[in-house]
Amino acid sequence: MADTHLHIPLEWSAAAEHVRRHEIHRIVVLGARDTGKSTLCRFLRMISVQSGRSTALLDTDVGQKAIGPPACVTMRDAQGLSLAFVGTTNPVLGWQNLIRGTRRLMERTDADLLVVNTSGLLAGPGLRLKAAKIDEVQPDVLIALGEDPALAAIADGRAPLPVLRLPASPMARRKTDGERRAVRREAFRNHFAGAAIHRLTPGLVEGMGANAPLPVDLLVGLADPDGNDIGMGLMKDAPDHMIAVLSPVAAGSIARIVPGLLRLDDNFTERSAPHGTSG
């Protein structure tokens, strides 16, 4: 596994041992951008699995993903990868769907250890969003990565919840906004690899009727008959009385379509969706 070749600080290894020794079951990892949160989460999951514990990694960062596609809350456990559609890469804009998706995925796993990755947004509304995530997850411990002053404010607001303070990854590198967009673009491209266009009935679209067509290239979430999100699609041109969705999900599995808050062009570059198209 690639993680074994990364430089892991001694403090991270000590934290993994602390988690094992104290039988911790839920962890929320916090930190500013480019501190190594995703790497730490993967490391904790790897060490836990190697010790024989069933472990789930829940990724609540909808922009810079540790696992799965952007615009979703994602989780990897013994059952594989699952997702909950948020519809945007902006965590504040997708606040309600993000918290709801976190709850839904947590309910779907019986893993003994849950490691929760978060975004690097710590200031302003990001601070309140972190508090909402912590309230939803109810962790046994917080891990604060790096030296951002906002981490102390989050920890103080959740006393007496234990906090492990760890150094940032020495391998972490500050990424530009352009590099972040490029990473998301490639992640979207990977999700839609092998996608086909499905012709479906407008009645599958949540909250929309046949007389209110969705814009072309709008990102949509796709759910199965049980209400579980199973992937994403892009709206395409279609004949009257039908809709067309480009998706890697099999057409027969799609029971509901949920409009998102952004569009993706032919290069999978993000564009704002027209106002009023969200579900």
Residue-wise DSSP of 12-67: HHHHHHHHHHTT--EEEEEE-TTS-HHHHHHHHHHHHHHTT--EEEEE--SSS-SS
CB 32 within 8 A of CB 17: no
Grouping H, G, I as helix, E, B as strand and the rest as coil, residue 120 is: coil
Domain CATH code at residue 56:
3.40.50.300
User: CB within 8 A of 1, min separation 6: which ones?
Assistant: 46
Q: For the chain, what percent of residues have pLDDT higher than 90? A: 81
Q: Please, which pLDDT band fits residue 239 given cuts at 50, 70 and 90?
A: confident
Checking if the pLDDT of 277 tops 70, the result is no
Let me know whether 121 and 47 are in one domain: yes
Distance CA 62, CA 60 (A): 6
CB 222 within 8 A of CB 207: no
Let me know whether 106 and 222 are in one domain: no
Let me know whether 216 and 154 are in one domain: no
Q: Which among 121, 151, 166 is the end of a domain?
A: 166
pLDDT recorded at residue 279: 40
Grouping H, G, I as helix, E, B as strand and the rest as coil, residue 99 is: helix
Let me know whether 91 and 221 are in one domain: no
Taking alpha carbons only, the member of 267, 37, 64, 260 closest to residue 148 is 37
Mean pLDDT over all residues of the chain? Answer: 92
Range of the domain at 244: 192-263
Query: What burial letters (b/e) apply to 232-248, b meaning 16+ CB within 10 Å?
Result: bbbbbebeeeebbbbbb
Higher pLDDT, 274 or 180: 180
Residue 270 belongs to a domain: no
Residue 171 belongs to a domain: no
Taking alpha carbons only, the member of 263, 261, 265, 264 closest to residue 276 is 261
Let me know whether 93 and 158 are in one domain: yes
Let me know whether 23 and 143 are in one domain: yes
